[in-house]
Amino acid sequence: MQKRRKIIFFLYLILVVKLVIFKYPIEDLKAIAASWQKDVILEGLYTANFTLFKTICMYIDYAYKLNSFENLVGNIVLFIPFGFLLPLCMKQGCNFFVMLLNAFLFVLGIEVFQLFSAFGAFDVDDILLNCLGAVMGYCLYIIAKAIKKQKRKKERQENG
């Protein structure tokens, strides 16, 4: 069972990388990679958002024009499985801060890759929203764990 959970978590991580970094058609990715030079990195720094809540506020202000809801909710929902699955795969992942640190480092890695590769744009708000999603997933894990514990307790009372 534990091995299956780890495989599912690994496949989930691959899916996240595919959806976030390699979301464009292969031809577009090849063209982006072919353009990698020093100025691409500088452009990534220029277009990056290092100001917390800047993108979130923009999405709220222009909700009627942009696909704001999809971006905000998508960034959260995409990482709910992270917070739920990590504790199931790693004993240390049951610790909230360990889970949050792992989520933060994974998301930061993705964002830094986007910053220097031009396969997306660095956005500190994405880090916040992704980690919020992981926290929500962790809360679901805690709730599921409590329900399972309560169910076992009830079964023991009925059988004992």
**What was the pLDDT predicted at 69?**
87
Distance in angstroms (rounded) separating the CA atoms of residues 114 and 91: 31
- pLDDT confidence tier of residue 93, bands split at 50, 70 and 90: very high
Nearest-10 crossing angle of helices 124-159, 96-117: 150
Query: How distant, in Å, are the alpha carbons of 84, 88, 150, 158 from that of 153?
Result: 23, 21, 5, 9
Q: Is 5:85 a contact under the CB 8 Å cutoff? A: yes
Q: Rounded distance, CA 72 to CA 125, Å?
A: 9
Residue 39 pLDDT > 80: no
What percent of the chain is predicted at pLDDT more than 70? Answer: 98
In this predicted structure, what is the pLDDT of residue 119?
A: 85
pLDDT band at 113 (very low <50, low <70, confident <90, very high): very high
pLDDT at 105 over 90: yes
pLDDT at 78: 98
End-to-end CA distance of the chain: 27
Give the pLDDT score at 97: 98
Please report which confidence band the pLDDT of residue 24 belongs to, taking 50, 70 and 90 as the band edges.
confident
Report the pLDDT value the prediction gives residue 117, as an integer from 0 to 100: 84
Report pLDDT for 120: 87
pLDDT of 57 above 80: yes
pLDDT of residue 160: 66
Range 37-48 average pLDDT? 78
- Of 25 and 101, more confident: 101
pTM of the model: 0.90
